[in-house]
Structure 1
Amino acid sequence: MAQKAKQWISRPRFWAQVWAARRNYRREDVSHEHPLLFVAGLPKSGTSWLESMLASYPGYEAVMPPRAVAYEQAHKGSHDFDLPEETFTQLRGALAVLKLHLPGSPHNVRLLREAEIPYVVLYRDLRDVAVSHYFYVRRTPWHPEYGDYCDLDVEDGLRHFSRTLLPEFADWMRSWRKNRDRERSIEVRYEDLLDDTVREFRKVASHFSLDASSSTIEEIVDEHRFENVSGGRARGEQDSDSFVRKGVSGDWKHHFTPELKNLFKTNAGQALIDFGYEVDHSW
């Protein structure tokens, strides 16, 4: 029921978001070089965090197309979702931040290029993605994968992830690295954003031609620090039931057994090396 309700409200919510974004676009006191900002990233990779910071700029509204919601519910994820041709036409004349988990397929990259939209691709260590994904799905009954994980302990949950989503998530990362438009996009690592949020967010803001002055960047970052969005918990505190959980890098070391390490090396070991998370397979 929860999944159906989420899908049912996605369409009116989307058009309410678009209406607000178009209204803001017409305001005389708001002006941005790029009306639409696009963020691509895997689930549990900091995309919502980055989206929220970008939507802090005057006039911007975060939007979520109902087709993406419906696809995620039907396919237990949207990491292989191709944008409908009309996606960016629907958002014309609107100040919007669009965050999706879709891959860097030739189709998606073409639509972004033709619409002349700048974008950011966000990566995260797939081992930490797996841990965060497991805990998030376990506490989210409306998630399409809840039934797959609700009865699994951490080890079994990570084993299930390694045999199902992990190869696809590794391919997702490779798709953006291979196909993205170098002139219109930049890559950002979640770990770098976590380590020096001001520096990395300034890089993102500059790429989108937004105000990247020290006062603006620091104000936005301060409002969106993990301890502020996680109910007052500091970044490293243990709380597997909080919405954003810990948000730390390297948490996978607390949960991986030798068997899990071997599974991840088999299914994503080269991707971890290619994206700078390991230097070889000896971890």
Structure 2
Amino acid sequence: MDIDAAARSVLVPFVAQNGRRLGARVRYYLQLWRARNSFREYGQRYPNPLLFVAGLPKSGTSWLESMLASYPGYQYVTIPEAVAYELRTGGSHDFDLPADTFERFEDALVVSKLHVHGSRHNAQLLHEADVPYVVLYRDLRDVAVSHYFYVRRTPWHPEYEDYRGLDVEEGLLHFGRTLLPEFVDWMRSWRERREPQQSIELRYEDLLDDAVGEFRHVASHFGLDASPATIERIVTEHRFATMSNGRSRGEQDEQSFARKGVAGDWQNHFTDAAKELFKTHAGQALIDFGYESDIHW
């Protein structure tokens, strides 16, 4: 590597990370201002001004967030602490919410999507604030594939240097040795601690198979308009072809956030070595969460 290339490999991620950190704080205050203005106009329509989604990374959380924000008045709001934590550590899947998180959203119409885990702290905050929420997860093998392609095209990501020189097999093995056990813990933490009357579980695969039915369930949980016409309109507006500039589901674009939009893509990439590693770290979890009936896959 020449000197200029070496300098760029350090400078580009540094500039990207700091730009994103600053932008996140500015965007947060703008989002919150809009959410409070919206509350004054639309707040009386909704029983729940805050819609909270705790999603496993790469599990369709942005898709669900976008559909929820289609209801008049609701605004995306992302707290800057979560962004800063992700930039510092490589992910927010083990992030604990600030104690005043839900106080910040008073008198505002907010859709908040975060990758926070189901720690005692986070579960208790949601319980005390009486905030309804959805826990969204995905087959961990597909999460690994999606994570590999996502990090390789994201210079600001702290793991970019770890992944950019790896082929798919090497990338999946690296994920299996590093993040996979933490993501298994993420799924188990929410299943163990979520409040059943206050929350629902949702699988990305079920949302793909029956977007209308699953989103109707989510809308009803949040007390939103779940009429057939409304649900059909929102789902149609957020179908994969619309969000990927016309690509059909399954048609890959490695540079797009909406890369492929399918379930089971792991079967196109997993080698025997990757299978064995994932069976070791996530075999029982895949059974417990309904992705496999036994360890022989």
Which of 217, 229, 238 is equivalent to 2:252? 238
Q: State the shift of 1:29 in Å.
A: 7.8
Q: Residue 260 of structure 2 aligns to a residue in which SS?
A: coil
Answering whether residue 190 of structure 2 is matched by residue 176 of structure 1, we say yes
Answering whether residue 270 of structure 2 is matched by residue 256 of structure 1, we say yes
Q: Residue 98 of structure 2 aligns to a residue in which SS?
A: coil
Answering whether residue 221 of structure 2 is matched by residue 207 of structure 1, we say yes
Which of 174, 179, 198 is equivalent to 1:165? 179
2:138 aligns with 124
Gaps of 5+ in 2: 1-14
Superposed CA deviations along residues 77-134 of structure 1, whole A, max 9, x for unmatched, are 1110000101111111100000000001111011001111000000100000000010
Find the aligned partners of 1:24 and 1:94 in 2 and give their Cα distance.
Answer: 7
Identity %: 67
Q: Residue 270 of structure 2 aligns to a residue in which SS?
A: coil
**CA-atom RMSD, angstroms?**
1.0
Find the aligned partners of 1:253 and 1:235 in 2 and give their Cα distance.
Answer: 16
Equivalent residue runs for 1:130-169 within 5 Å: 130-169=144-183
Find the aligned partners of 2:57 and 2:137 in 1 and give their Cα distance.
Answer: 10
Q: Could you tell me the TM-score, scaled by structure 1's length?
A: 0.98
Which of 31, 34, 40 is equivalent to 2:54? 40
Answering whether residue 113 of structure 2 is matched by residue 99 of structure 1, we say yes
Gaps of 5+ in 1: none
Q: Residue 27 of structure 1 aligns to a residue in which SS?
A: helix
Change (3 A) 1:3 1:89: same
Which of 77, 92, 96 is equivalent to 1:82? 96
Q: State the shift of 1:28 in Å.
A: 5.4
Q: State the shift of 1:238 in Å.
A: 3.1
Change (3 A) 1:30 1:234: farther
Q: Residue 171 of structure 2 aligns to a residue in which SS?
A: helix
Find the aligned partners of 1:5 and 1:238 in 2 and give their Cα distance.
Answer: 29
The structure whose residues are more often helix, as a share, is 2
1:70 aligns with 84
Paired positions, count? 283
Runs of 4+ in 1 over 3 A off after TM superposition: none
Mapped contact 2:42–2:73 kept (Cα < 8 A): no
Q: Residue 98 of structure 1 aligns to a residue in which SS?
A: strand
Answering whether residue 41 of structure 2 is matched by residue 27 of structure 1, we say yes
Mapped contact 1:30–1:58 kept (Cα < 8 A): no
Superposed CA deviations along residues 1-57 of structure 1, whole A, max 9, x for unmatched, are 101110011112101100100000011586211000000111110000000000000
Q: Could you tell me the TM-score, scaled by structure 2's length?
A: 0.94
Find the aligned partners of 1:152 and 1:274 in 2 and give their Cα distance.
Answer: 31
Which of 271, 274, 279 is equivalent to 2:288? 274
Q: State the shift of 1:152 in Å.
A: 0.7
Find the aligned partners of 2:282 and 2:40 in 1 and give their Cα distance.
Answer: 46
Q: State the shift of 1:242 in Å.
A: 2.5
Find the aligned partners of 1:34 and 1:279 in 2 and give their Cα distance.
Answer: 38
